[in-house]
């Protein structure tokens, strides 16, 4: 059996600006995120025939087919099926997928699962892809599935782990690991699930179209987000958590100005309650409208903030940042 696991992530700053060609419009700002110990898992078991069995535990969905060639074009498990078609395994197999991230949490669960799937199939078929090749294949397949451009940032944390600065350039997009103390950063952030899946409070495709169409209001708002990301890159590198907290707060304010629907009354209530009890800053993870909120909290205020969030019907998720990325085990 092949067991492939990849971490999810918390995005810190610069999201939306990781989409081509949007980052080119803003002088290639970084996007910052960090891998956490909530993992997506793919378990792949070879079969003696050519049949394909797929089960998604998160979607409570199962499917069986006579072969890879008989997989349908449209299906709730479309991402898995298109990835299978890309690798074209010659033997039958069973695939079971699961994720420790809550559904629609905004912490990159689908991208982590995507990377874990590529890790398992790359090992099973002996295709020999590098991490970079798997990243680009995963990104392109997901773009095909959702029919709009995807950003780069969600694929680097599950592949490489750690705190990363995703850096676009004129000759490609890469990322570097930032020298951040993971224990210190873990103690400074509380992750809370709102109880409701995200509903894409920010539509990145519409934002990108408005910028490319010359909308100056949206362009200026994204300029602010780009500048915050550049500043946070420097402060994370220097380990200045206090300044990171201030930039975290500025990022959230800029995102709400860009897309007010990224928040909800319940999110506003959770953030207000946490700030009242000592949290320094907060921002919704991912596209918002639900999902998770990350709070910057002094360690001395952590228990008080956690108690307040729980009392406001938030679900605090224990986690820590991790250095590890994709891991593929063959037994």
- Judged against a pLDDT cut of 90, whether residue 46 lies above it is answered with yes
* Across 105-131, average pLDDT: 96
Q: Is the pLDDT of residue 16 over 70?
A: yes
Is residue 153 very low, low, confident or very high in pLDDT (cuts 50, 70, 90)? very high
| Contacts with 130 (C-beta within 8 Å, 6 or more apart), sequence order | none
Query: Which residues of the chain form CATH 3.30.70.890?
Result: 182-316
Confidence of residue 250 (pLDDT cuts 50, 70, 90): very high
Query: What is the mean predicted confidence (pLDDT) over 314-328?
Result: 97
pLDDT at 201 over 60: no
| The two three-digit tokens of residue 96, written as one number | 């079971």
83-97, 196-210, 311-325: the lowest-pLDDT one:
196-210
Q: What is the pLDDT of residues 49-76, one digit of tens each?
A: 999 999 999 989 999 999 999 999 889 9
Angle, vertex CA 181, rays to CA 177 and CA 186, nearest 5:
105
Q: Which of 292, 271, 98, 93 is nearest to 191 (CA)?
A: 292
Q: What are phi and psi for residue 56, nearest 5 degrees?
A: -105, 110
Q: CATH 3.30.70.890: does it fit domain 182-316?
A: yes
For residue range 183-195, what is the model confidence (pLDDT) as tens digits?
Answer: 999 999 999 999 8
Q: How far apart (Å, rounded) are the C-alpha atoms in residues 225 and 276? A: 25
Q: What is the pLDDT of residue 42?
A: 98
Average pLDDT, the chain: 94
17 burial type by CB count under 10 A (0-12 exposed, 13-18 middle, 19+ buried): buried
Residue 251's nearest CA partner among 10, 22, 24 is 10
Average of pLDDT values for 116-142? 96
CATH code given to domain 2-178+322-330: 3.30.230.10
Task: Evaluate whether 282 touches 252 at the Cβ level (below 8 Å).
Answer: yes
Does the pLDDT value for residue 138 go beyond 80?
A: yes
Q: What angle do CA 304, 306, 312 make, to 5 degrees?
A: 105
pLDDT interval class at 149 (50, 70, 90): confident
Task: Provide long-range contacts, Cβ within 8 A and 24+ apart, for 169-174.
Answer: 169/28, 170/24, 170/28, 173/18, 173/20
CA 189 to chain centre: 17
Q: Give CA–CA dist 237/24, Å, rounded.
A: 24
In the predicted structure, residue 204 carries a pLDDT above the cut 90: no
% pLDDT > 90, the chain: 87
Residue 217 sits at φ, ψ, to 5 deg, of: -65, -50
What are the start and end residues of each CATH 3.30.230.10 domain in the chain?
2-178+322-330
Residue 244 has pLDDT above 90, yes or no: yes
Q: How large a percentage of the chain has pLDDT more than 70? A: 98
The pLDDT score that the predictor gives to residue 199 is 64
How large is the average pLDDT for residues 124-152? 93
Predicted TM-score of the model (pTM):
0.94
């Amino acid at each position: 059996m092949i067991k492939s696991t990849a971490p999810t992530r918390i995005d810190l700053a610069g999201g939306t600006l990781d989409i081509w060609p949007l980052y080119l419009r803003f002088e290639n700002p970084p996007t910052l995120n960090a891998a956490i110990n909530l993992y997506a898992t793919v378990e792949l078991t070879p079969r003696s025939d050519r049949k394909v069995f797929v089960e998604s535990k998160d979607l409570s969905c199962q499917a069986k087919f006579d072969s890879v060639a008989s997989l349908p074009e449209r299906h709730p498990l479309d991402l898995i099926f298109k990835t299978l078609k890309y690798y074209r395994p010659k033997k039958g197999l069973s695939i079971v997928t699961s994720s420790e991230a809550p559904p629609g949490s905004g912490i990159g669960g689908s991208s982590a699962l995507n990377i874990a799937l590529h890790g398992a199939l790359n090992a099973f078929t002996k295709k020999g892809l590098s991490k970079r090749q798997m990243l680009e294949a995963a990104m392109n397949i997901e773009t095909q599935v959702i029919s709009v451009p995807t950003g780069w940032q969600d694929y680097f944390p599950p592949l490489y782990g750690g705190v990363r600065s995703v850096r676009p350039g004129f000759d490609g997009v890469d990322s570097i690991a930032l020298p951040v103390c993971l224990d210190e950063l873990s103690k400074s952030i509380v992750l809370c699930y709102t109880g409701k899946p995200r509903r894409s409070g920010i539509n990145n495709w519409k934002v990108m179209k408005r910028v490319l169409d010359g909308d100056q209001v949206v362009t200026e708002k994204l300029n602010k987000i780009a500048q915050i990301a550049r500043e946070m890159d420097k402060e994370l590198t220097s380990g200045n958590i206090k300044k990171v907290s201030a930039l975290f707060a500025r990022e959230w304010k800029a995102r709400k100005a860009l897309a007010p629907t990224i928040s909800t009354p319940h999110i506003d209530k959770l953030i207000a309650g946490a700030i009242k009890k000592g949290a320094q800053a907060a921002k919704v993870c991912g596209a918002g409208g639900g999902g998770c909120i990350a709070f910057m909290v002094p360690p001395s205020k952590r228990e008080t903030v956690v108690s307040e969030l729980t009392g406001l019907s938030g679900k605090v998720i224990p986690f820590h940042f991790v250095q590890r990325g994709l891991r593929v085990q063959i037994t």
